[in-house]
Structure 1
Amino acid sequence: MASSLAHPPPHLPSLNPKPNFTRRSLLLTSTATTLSFPSLSSSASPPPIPTITDRIFMEFSLCPNYYLPNRTLGDTISTLCSDSTLLGRVILGLYGNLVPRTVSNFKSLCISASNSNPNSSSYKNTLVHKVLPGQYFLAGRQGRPDRGEVRPPSYLPRNIETVDPKAFTLTHSRPGIVSLSLSENDDEDEIKFDPEYRNVEFLITTGPGPCPQLDNKNIVFGTVLEGLDVIRAIASTPTYQPGERIRQFNDLAEFFGDERAQNARAIWNRPLTTIYISDCGALEVTKPSLTPSLP
């Protein structure tokens, strides 16, 4: 009798029909055991499936004359690069079902005719202004069309997807990823403060590996379907790389608030041979395809 009293009575189950689960208890329990709550797991949205809704072609060319010092005021890429060398054509597949506004704006700048509106320009005859070896290249910098930069038309809608977390779900996982450049955007501050400013600068990853530093910061909206060899050729183009001493002086100038530091960095990673988009446009898509595989 005494021995039975030495042990406490067994724990009785609670009569409360509602289990007292907190957010912390669910998280801790899920790491140790598998909870049998189908409603909790089914509520999580599945990863997005990128479906190609649009196809765009871009032709890239090399121009040996654009950066010559004897340019006149009226010279543009179209006048200076009549003897350019075609690198090749790239076919881009765009994910209009995931980021329709980003795709629509990009497509508009690929097919718009700048001759119909002298105050705007498309991607045609604009520069690939930066190449970061082994990572990506940048194109579509905003500014003056006579300098090979883009001036988006006033009718181009604002891209509200730049503040939508769902637009940043895809990653820069391989070469040939097409992305709207937000974190790496190097448009001048004066242009960004303009009420008519639109995000149109884009990047394409060149490989050989992924670029995780770009994830969750830039909007992936397409992929290279054909012409990955052209992308590699652009990536192998020699670029301007400042020496270590120049970088140190630049960092010091930026620390003291010297605006010339940012202006000096504008030519870093610039191709030593002019690369530009000599032509671009849309291709018909008869039937949207599922996740593409690169060649």
Structure 2
Amino acid sequence: MAFPSSSIIAASSTVYPAYLSLHHRPNSQRASSRPSNANHDNTYKCIKSPKIVRRSLFSLPASFLLLHTSSSLAIDDTNTTSTSAIDTTITDRIFMDFSVCPSYFRSDRPLGAELSSCPDSEPLGRVVFGLYGRLLPTTTANFKATCTAAAYRGTLVHKLLQGQFFAAGRQGSRREKGEVQPPSGLIRNSETVDARAFKLRHARPGTLSLCLGQNDDDNDIKLNPNYHNVEFLVTTGPGPCPQLDGQNIVFGTVLEGMDVITSIAAIPTYKPAERIRLFNDFAQLIGDERAQTARAMWDRPLKTVYISDCGELRVTKQSLSPPSLP
């Protein structure tokens, strides 16, 4: 079917700007197709108007836009770490009994008496932890060995950030202060410098993590060649703790006793005044060693919460089904 030449020129002008069609015509036709002087100004305005350029954007097919959107989403998915590919199978179960010692600060308390022998202990309950032994075998083995050797027995919960986490298991030689003496035979933990050990997040309450970034152990103790990091933290909720991600190693979760974790999180803590905080910052700036000692008292529960007992729970089937991760 033949179309008139005027229709072809009109159709081509809707796709290409007019000055391109004038440029590609032969010289013999340029004079005949040039617009008259009366319409010259209007034609120039249409050519220079940016509306034609904007209108050409709408002529892109919808399939191109859909392909561009799907490709950008595919790039974002590759940068997101998926927790479904991480093996969080629970291979071991550890229990810890938490209690409160009301007579810890009393003047008639025997000198050097350990917290495990508190005469008026008030039990808070038992917490059962599930450990990710396949994902972090060294961290799991050291934590289980410390529990089975009863080294955590009499350990003080020395830090509590309400709405975030509490920490326990500070290493030291003073058992009357609730410090931990790691048992002999622990494995040198190389997972603390392995980037694959920091993939799991502190995304929900009841997350068990090896305390690295928030560790309060003294520098003299850390310089000991036989030093083993045994300090741990447990998130209390109600929300996630993204500030802990990438600094501490998540190696377990709470299976039973989340009500005990909640009751510990509700205990009030020591909050220094703003003047004391500023003075401590200045003392730390000038290198005063007493600043770190004073800072260790901050965010400490006003009740003496400690681990009265700990150990391993034997199960018939060693590998349990992994919990659902966010």
TM-score bracket relative to the smaller structure: 0.7 to 0.9
The yes-or-no answer on 1:265 pairing with 2:295 is yes
Residue among 26, 34, 54 paired with 2:92: 54
Map 1:2-13 onto structure 2 (within 5 A): 3=24
Any idea what SS the aligned residue of 1:222 has? Answer: strand
Name the structure 2 match of 1:178: 208
The one-letter code of the counterpart of 1:108 is A
Aligned residues of 1:103 and 1:221 also touching (Cα < 8 A)? yes
Name the structure 1 match of 2:277: 247
Aligned residues of 1:126 and 1:148 also touching (Cα < 8 A)? yes
The yes-or-no answer on 1:103 pairing with 2:140 is yes
The one-letter code of the counterpart of 1:232 is T
The yes-or-no answer on 1:73 pairing with 2:111 is yes
Where relative contact order (Cα < 8 A, 6+ residues apart) is larger, the structure is 1
Aligned residues: 255
Deviation at 1:31? Answer: 7.9
Distance of 2:116 and 2:87 partners within structure 1: 40
Runs of 4+ residues over 6 Å off in structure 1: 30-33
The yes-or-no answer on 1:234 pairing with 2:264 is yes
Residue among 171, 175, 190 paired with 1:145: 175
Distance of 2:100 and 2:305 partners within structure 1: 5
The yes-or-no answer on 1:188 pairing with 2:188 is no
Encode CA deviations 1:263-282: one digit per residue, 9 max, x unaligned.
10011111111101011111
Name the structure 2 match of 1:64: 102
Change (3 A) 1:3 1:226: same
The yes-or-no answer on 1:169 pairing with 2:199 is yes
Residue among 158, 163, 174 paired with 1:129: 158
Aligned residues of 2:116 and 2:154 also touching (Cα < 8 A)? yes
Name the structure 1 match of 2:255: 225
Aligned residues of 1:205 and 1:211 also touching (Cα < 8 A)? yes
Deviation at 1:285? Answer: 3.0
Deviation at 1:49? Answer: 3.1
Aligned residues of 1:168 and 1:219 also touching (Cα < 8 A)? yes
Greater radius of gyration (CA): 2
Change (3 A) 1:193 1:101: same
The one-letter code of the counterpart of 2:322 is T
Any idea what SS the aligned residue of 2:145 has? Answer: helix
The one-letter code of the counterpart of 1:164 is D
Any idea what SS the aligned residue of 1:138 has? Answer: strand
The one-letter code of the counterpart of 1:289 is L
Any idea what SS the aligned residue of 1:263 has? Answer: helix
Query: What 5-or-longer segments of structure 1 have no aligned partner?
Result: 6-29, 36-40, 114-121
The yes-or-no answer on 1:274 pairing with 2:267 is no
Any idea what SS the aligned residue of 2:88 has? Answer: coil
Deviation at 1:289? Answer: 2.5
Distance of 1:293 and 1:123 partners within structure 2: 28
Distance of 2:180 and 2:128 partners within structure 1: 21
Residue among 263, 277, 290 paired with 2:321: 290
TM-score, L = length of structure 2:
0.73
Deviation at 1:32? Answer: 6.6
Any idea what SS the aligned residue of 2:278 has? Answer: helix
Deviation at 1:160? Answer: 0.8
Deviation at 1:75? Answer: 1.6
Deviation at 1:68? Answer: 2.4
Name the structure 2 match of 1:89: 126
Distance of 2:178 and 2:253 partners within structure 1: 24
Distance of 2:217 and 2:187 partners within structure 1: 19
Any idea what SS the aligned residue of 1:231 has? Answer: helix
Distance of 2:128 and 2:112 partners within structure 1: 32
Encode CA deviations 1:189-239: one digit per residue, 9 max, x unaligned.
111111110010000000010000000110000000111010000001111
Deviation at 1:164? Answer: 0.7
The one-letter code of the counterpart of 1:90 is V
Aligned residues of 2:116 and 2:153 also touching (Cα < 8 A)? no
